[in-house]
Amino acid sequence: MAAPATTQTGAHLLRLVLSCRKITAQVTSPNTDSIIAMASSTEQEFIADYKAKLNRFPRSQFLWNSKVAARIGEKMATRLKEVGVSSVQIDAQEEWSRPIHYRKMVRPFFERVKSGGVAVSGAEDLIFLG
């Protein structure tokens, strides 16, 4: 599988998979496209909150929010530091193609990855979303 044209050669690629039920972040190796770090809202620490939202009436449209995204960003930064990755690249075109409500909810994710000591190339223009 070829890397998207917007990424730099040799850069680790950070991808987000979003749905109304969960958010998953994964970083792939530039050489093998294998996943080297991953964090998701389906991990054990988020299960209680997830079940509470799932069983609530009226049911919420989204089972994750910007606070969950921020905590996943912290986990991702920690896991990247553990494997020795200090910078990642995102496909900014893919992020801009997302609906505005998703872009607003994932903004804290990118901010927490950056504050965790991992440079996120390509997210500079996404941070100003309100």
In a domain, 5, yes or no: no
Tokens at 130, concatenated: 């309100």
- Which residue matches tokens 């992020």? 95
Give per-residue pLDDT as tens, 7-31.
455 689 999 999 888 999 999 998 8
In a domain, 44, yes or no: yes
In a domain, 70, yes or no: yes
In a domain, 8, yes or no: no
Amino acid identity of 89? Q
Q: For residue 115, is pLDDT > 80?
A: yes
Higher pLDDT, 55 or 39: 39
Nearest partner of 26 among 75, 76, 66, judged by Cα: 76
Give per-residue pLDDT as tens, 43-85.
999 888 878 877 777 767 788 889 999 999 999 999 999 999 9
Type and span of the H or E element at 119: strand 119-121
pLDDT at residue 127 in the model: 56
Give the CATH number for residue 57: 3.30.420.100
CA distance 106 to 16: 9
Q: For residue 87, is pLDDT > 50?
A: yes
Interstrand relation of 13-18 and 23-28 (parallel, antiparallel or unpaired): antiparallel
Structural domains in the chain (count)? 1
In a domain, 38, yes or no: yes
- Nearest-5° angle of CA 46, CA 115, CA 51? 10
CA distance 9 to 70: 28
In a domain, 3, yes or no: no
pLDDT at residue 126 in the model: 65
